[in-house]
Amino acid sequence: GSSSGNNYDYSFKILLIGDSGVGKSSLLVSFISNHVNDLSPTIGVDFKIKMLTIDGKRLKLTIWDTAGQEKFRTLTSSYYRGAQGIILVYDVTRRETFTNLSDVWKKEIELYSTNQDCIKVLVGNKVDKDSERAVSRAEGIALAEDYGCLFLECSAKTRENVEQCFKELALKISEVPSLLEEGSTSAKRNILKQKQEYQAPPKGGCCS
Ligand code: GDP
């Protein structure tokens, strides 16, 4: 059908957050393309759209990737605005990507996220590299309990649990009435404007 038509019941804005190299773009590509990919280092995408039907509801997911801007810590309020779901990604083989979620990204979410009810899922990626694991599953579970969010370990490479990440998040969002109202209006109306703002070069140069 037409992508501009009202061929869905609800529209959700979902963000991928986490350190550079944890596999955010790979997770997105893996989810969108429905098959195992040759993973190569990605130049980030800005956003991709995926339609899902859950419990008879047609959901339009607009999933935003940081397009590498997290390296320069230049994610701004426009990236976060109106998001109903946030996927917090770390790499199970790189411990600092796990600790940075608490030290950096959680604070940024609290600062910029406009939706109090926003649903989060903590995702430990690259479980296919089990011999190099540096963060245990138990630690992931404990952090998710601390954040009060969902938890999954997955692999963008093998696609293990990749669909579940997005589907469980979408299901949770669809169960929160306040997020449903937000979704059908603001996400659609603001998406072009947000894209323009997001792609504008940062003012005054790079990071602190
Ligand atoms: P981003 O910077 O967070 O978007 O990370 P990328 O998606 O660009 O991935 C960084 C690197 O990790 C790339 O070389 C990917 O091929 C690799 N990668 C991503 N996900 C996985 C995974 O699940 N398993 C393995 N083995 N490599 C992965």
Residue whose CA is at the smallest distance from ligand 1 atom 14? 41
Buried-exposed string 114-131: b where 16+ CB fall within 10 A, e elsewhere: ebeebbbbbbbbbbeeee
Both tokens assigned to 15: 């963000």
Query: What is the predicted pLDDT for the residue at 180?
Result: 84
* Per-residue confidence (pLDDT) for residue 106, from 0 to 100: 80
ipTM above 0.90, yes or no: yes
pLDDT for 191 equals 53
Other beta carbons less than 10 A from residue 28's beta carbon: 25
Mean pLDDT, 10 residues at a time, the chain of 208 residues: 66 92 92 66 69 91 78 67 93 97 83 83 97 98 95 96 96 90 51 56 48
Write down the pLDDT at residue 1: 41
Pocket of ligand 1 (CB under 6 A): 20-26, 39-42, 44, 125-126, 128-129, 155-157
Question: Given ligand 1 and candidates 39, 88, 159, which is best to mutate, with the most ligand atoms within 8 Å of its CB?
Answer: 39
CA gap 58, 56 in Å, rounded: 7
> What is the reported pLDDT for 208?
38
pLDDT of 42: 52
HEC sequence for 140-190: HHHHHHHHCCEEEECCCCCCCCHHHHHHHHHHHHHCCHHHHHHHHHHHHHH
Residue 145's pLDDT is what? 96
